[in-house]
Amino acid sequence: EADIYQTPRYLVIGTGKKITLECSQTMGHDKMYWYQQDPGMELHLIHYSYGVNSTEKGDLSSESTVSRIRTEHFPLTLESARPSHTSQYLCASSASGRLYTQYFGPGTRLTVL
Amino acid sequence: GDSVTQMEGPVTLSEEAFLTINCTYTATGYPSLFWYVQYPGEGLQLLLKATKADDKGSNKGFEATYRKETTSFHLEKGSVQVSDSAVYFCALSPSGAGSYQLTFGKGTKLSVIP
């Protein structure tokens, strides 16, 4: 069973606040990802990291930022939350190798009022 | 670029009915293919996978066969249960070295009624 954790699970916050969504994994995976899931369920890759001190933007432009200082930790930060940031955020990780299986956390549902 | 197309939902079935969710892909070479499932309020879970042509992935009564000639990876289950109600995503990972990103379909919501 995959061990990847996200906190908080639910967050309701006012416009303009700074927020950090936490993601940690205990599997020693070098690759980690952040997805945004819209109400229609479609998944959009917004950030990924292939190792410590390596981060890249994904296919969907996002105002969020990420950092990867430790292998197991991949937090996502919004400096000033807006209602357009309301969404479900999913974190995932994978090891290197042919199968590229990604393991997902339970998600954080963010609502910005 | 790579893409995945899966049948649009929602799909509503009665318990014990046969399930098919169609998935076709566009990619060069021999990508790996996956089905993920997302239960309400949860993240995605890997349901099954196949890494080469004619491979059959199976798990929890679900099956899918990697068909290179039709570029398809259709998900099937012979008898669905209420507990199978979820959103199902087809995905591919390219065969080229150095690319670890998944390309997902848009998801198909399945509702199974008693």
For position B101, what pLDDT does the model report? 81
Element (H, E) at A12: strand A10-13
More confident residue, A1 or A40: A40
Pairwise CA distance, residues B69 & B95, whole Å: 17
Q: Is B43 on the interface with A (CB under 8 A)?
A: yes
Contact pairs from chain A to chain B, CB under 8 Å = 52
Pairwise CA distance, residues A49 & A92, whole Å: 10
CA distance A85 to chain B (A): 19
8 Å CB contact between B114 and B69: no
Quick check: bond before A39 cis, omega within 30?
A: no
Most confident of A97-111, B35-49, B91-105: B35-49
8 Å CB contact between A103 and A94: yes
CB contact under 8 A, A33 and B101: yes
Q: How confident is the model at residue B97 (pLDDT cuts 50, 70, 90)?
A: low
Which one of A43, A90, A100 has the shortest CB-CB distance to B93?
Answer: A100
What's the start-to-end Cα distance of chain B, in Å?
41
For position A82, what pLDDT does the model report? 94
Q: Is the pLDDT of residue A100 over 70?
A: no
Q: Is the pLDDT of residue A98 over 70?
A: no
Q: How confident is the model at residue B8 (pLDDT cuts 50, 70, 90)?
A: confident
DSSP B76-100: EESS--GGG-EEEEEEEE-SSTT--
For position B68, what pLDDT does the model report? 94
Any idea what DSSP says for residue A84?
A: G
Preferred mutation among A100, A103, A109 to probe B, highest tally of B CBs within 10 A: A100
Over range A24-38, report the average pLDDT: 93
The share of chain A scoring above pLDDT 70, in percent, equals: 95
Q: Is B44 on the interface with A (CB under 8 A)?
A: yes
**Tens-place pLDDT, residues A52-79:** 999 999 888 888 999 999 999 999 999 9
> Average pLDDT over chain B, rounded to whole?
93
